[in-house]
A and B are shown apart, each in its own frame.
Chain A
């Protein structure tokens, strides 16, 4: 079995890069297609059982936005010590009230991604982390595949030289006989 030749490797490399760029762009687009709001918690509503029903966030311009919640709403919030708490509305509808109250008392900013006024996720305020994270992700992707393709190309060229040498030596041996 021979390794891929240079042209084939380059075609595959180009396809992989294209796939990576397209998917990352789509990731960014999908991440930014929903409404993203950052601000501090200014209002919390609960039902008779103490479960969260909706909450309000005030952004830096003073605009207050109210968000409904559903059982699939995800939470990723930190306490004052920095310990991360991750859950969903369906799993811990009461605990989230305590967490949001804590954020309101501390004026700790949160980021809410939502669709049609229903919160999809509620996390600690994202500070441009999406673009930064994608940069690191792309770096790993690029380094990984660049190294693999360079290695495959190196082995391919080495094998061609060796096969040429073997053919030449066999030819020389045949002539000597």
Chain B
């Protein structure tokens, strides 16, 4: 019964509905772009996941600042959740960009600024998560992780402006405050891009929400272990799960 009820939660339902509408817009409604043909529709996946990866690092840095200020665990959980979802979006940004580059530029990858800074963002996410996974648990780990998150945020505006600052193969900015009049999308293409970005933003929020709750459950288990006086040292990351899985 709880599964059925969870299926009726408004956020995933709304996200799924919005994603369905977006897919219809992408594959049926929007006209085929004349320069690139069908492959241009990759834009409606690539830009939204790129936006999601940058949104993720902003939330990580914002949460890190709040954690350093308030020392409240919920900000640390939010940072971890955003970083993990952000690395998924960042990986998809790189993969979709590479697959798109092959037919359009005839190469999988070039060393230009936009691509390189995007790759750096992905590595920052990975470094953040690796640091949290391997550094001994405690307040020091959370403080240092927060600093890494803040460093990651510095890279984000560089990614956004890279195509305009160092004009190379990657097209200039087409959405946001730095868009110039010549590089805007046509109205139909722009509508679909906005709809897709909105759908992927809601997907991002949903995934962060689920990951946040998982993180809180991990913390609850640590607290329960401490309360029950377990001798085995536990960390919030993994050991409790493997330890108790076969117990019942």
Contact = CB atoms under 8 A, between A and B. Distances in A.
A74 B241 CA distance: 61
A14 interface: no
Interface residues of A, number: 53
Interface string A6-19: 00100010001001
A98 interface: no
A134 B91 contact: no
Interface stretch (B95-103, B124-132, B155-163, B176-184): B95-103
B2 to A, nearest CB: 7
A161 B2 CA distance: 16
A175 B190 CA distance: 61
A164 B241 CA distance: 9
A1 B244 CA distance: 23
Interface string B31-56: 01011111101100110010000000
A3 B85 CA distance: 14
Contact of A176 (B96, B228, B244): B228
A164 B245 CA distance: 8
A133 B103 contact: yes
A34 B119 CA distance: 42
Interface stretch (B57-65, B109-117, B219-227): B219-227
A121 B211 CA distance: 48
B74 to A, nearest CB: 16
Nearest to A167: B248
B217 A173 contact: no
B28 interface: yes
B169 interface: no
B91 A147 contact: yes
Contacts of A5: 3, 6
Contacts of A161: 241, 245
Given A74-B34, A133-B38, A140-B42, A2 B221 contact: no
Which one of A23, A27, A84, A136 has the highest number of Cβ atoms from chain B below 10 Å of its Cβ?
A136
A161 B242 CA distance: 9
A134 B35 CA distance: 15
Contacts of B221: 162, 165-166, 169
Interface in A103-132: 121, 123, 126, 129-130, 132
A139 interface: yes
11 contacts: A1-B6, A1-B209, A2-B6, A5-B6, A27-B27, A76-B35, A139-B99, A140-B42, A144-B45, A164-B244, A173-B224
Given A143-B96, A164-B244, A164-B248, 7 more contacts: A1-B209, A3-B210, A86-B34, A139-B99, A140-B45, A159-B217, A173-B224
Interface of B: 2-3, 6-7, 9, 11-12, 16, 20, 23, 27-28, 32, 34-39, 41-42, 45-46, 49, 88, 91-92, 95-96, 99-100, 102-103, 203, 207, 209-211, 213-214, 217-218, 220-221, 224-225, 227-228, 240-241, 244-245, 247-248
